[in-house]
Structure 1
Amino acid sequence: MPRMGRIVLPNYPHHVVQRGHNRQVVFAAPEDFQRYLDDLRELKEVFAVKVYAYCLMTNHVHLLLAPDDSAAGLGQLMKALAARATRYRNRLKGRSGTLWESRYKSSIVQTDAYLLACARYIELNPVRARMVAEPADYLWSSYRDRMCGKGDRFI
């Protein structure tokens, strides 16, 4: 039986989650995190997708993304991001095969209140995981960019 198509609305934010296969480590070193962010910065322009928030954890990512007028941009961005990360990690570790667990999950963010709650949820992920005491202490989320004026400056 074919799987159901993903519902993607143009110009609406979507909360996207992608996990490492079997919860394996996806980002082991600062260079791994930075490379993913560099790819996200580049590909968001290519596929006309806005980035509202992000958090890269060691074995998964949370992204708050909005495709432009073409709903296909979201899927194309995620496919390209996943492929680049997989090729990079496989080359680095001398392995082959998948890096990610199945397809990414996404849900539509339909209200401004939910948009803010979702961004807060994403950026507080490292605090809930007890990796840092304050969200500003975590280098791999959009919090420092949005709230402190520091960071990658591309959201």
Structure 2
Amino acid sequence: MEGRHFTTRKRLRLREFDYSQPYAYFLTICCKDKRAIFVGEELNKAVCYTISEEIDRLNFDLFTYCLMPNHLHLLLSPGLSNTPVSRYVQGFKSKSTRMAWMHGISGIVWQRGCYDHIVRGSESLLEIATYIVNNPVRKGLAGSIDDYPYSGINDNLIY
């Protein structure tokens, strides 16, 4: 196959890391082609419900979330569930995609995989959570974090 060049996809996960360990993970799940899909109140509320529904189903811990028009930020942990984070992402994407389709969105909703950051001991969960919930303010979608209805922070991080 002379003249053909194949590119290798960039690996999104650490090769030998066990993503079921009870660390905290900062995830960013992006819409396919950066489409602004989550702009309607009814769909956004349903997707926010799905975030917590999947957390409860898998017995994960959710520290904070923020649903933006074209992506979702999550700070979560599998806790002691011994369940890989990828199972959460897979279940969430599947359910939220069906919801988007029911609300008139067509085609692929989410891009492949997600971006993750394993929170290290020296990093503050509260600082990361604050960064996440301030995203709508930074993007001009809200005047303050209290004005944006599609985000939340676990009270245990604050007190």
Gaps of 5+ in 2: 1-7
Cα shift at 1:28: 2.2
Distance 2:88 2:69 in 1: 20
Instruction: Call closer, same or farther: CA 1:73–1:46 in 2, change over 3 Å.
Output: farther
* CA RMSD in angstroms, aligned pairs only: 2.4
TM-score (norm 2): 0.80
Distance 2:120 2:38 in 1: 31
Cα shift at 1:112: 6.1
Residues 45-104 of structure 1 show CA distances to partners (whole Å, capped at 9, x for unaligned) of 211210000111011000001012345342111101101111221233263x42111211
Give secondary structure in 1 for the equivalent of 2:103. helix
Q: Which has the larger radius of gyration?
A: 2
Structure 1 vs Structure 2: percent identity of aligned residues? 24
Conserved 8 A contact 1:48-1:73: no
Residue of 120, 124, 132 corresponding to 1:114? 124
Instruction: Call closer, same or farther: CA 1:92–1:106 in 2, change over 3 Å.
Output: same
Gaps of 5+ in 1: 148-155
Number of residues of Structure 1 aligned to a counterpart in Structure 2: 146
Counterparts of 1:1-155 in structure 2 under 5 Å? 4=11, 6=13, 7=17, 8=19, 10-93=21-104, 95=106, 97-111=107-121, 113-143=123-153, 146=155
TM-score (norm 1): 0.82
Amino acid in structure 2 at the alignment position of 1:15 = F
Amino acid in structure 2 at the alignment position of 1:99 = V
Q: Which structure dedicates a bigger proportion of its chain to helix?
A: 1
Distance 1:63 1:94 in 2: 23
Stretches of 4+ aligned residues off by more than 6 angstroms: none
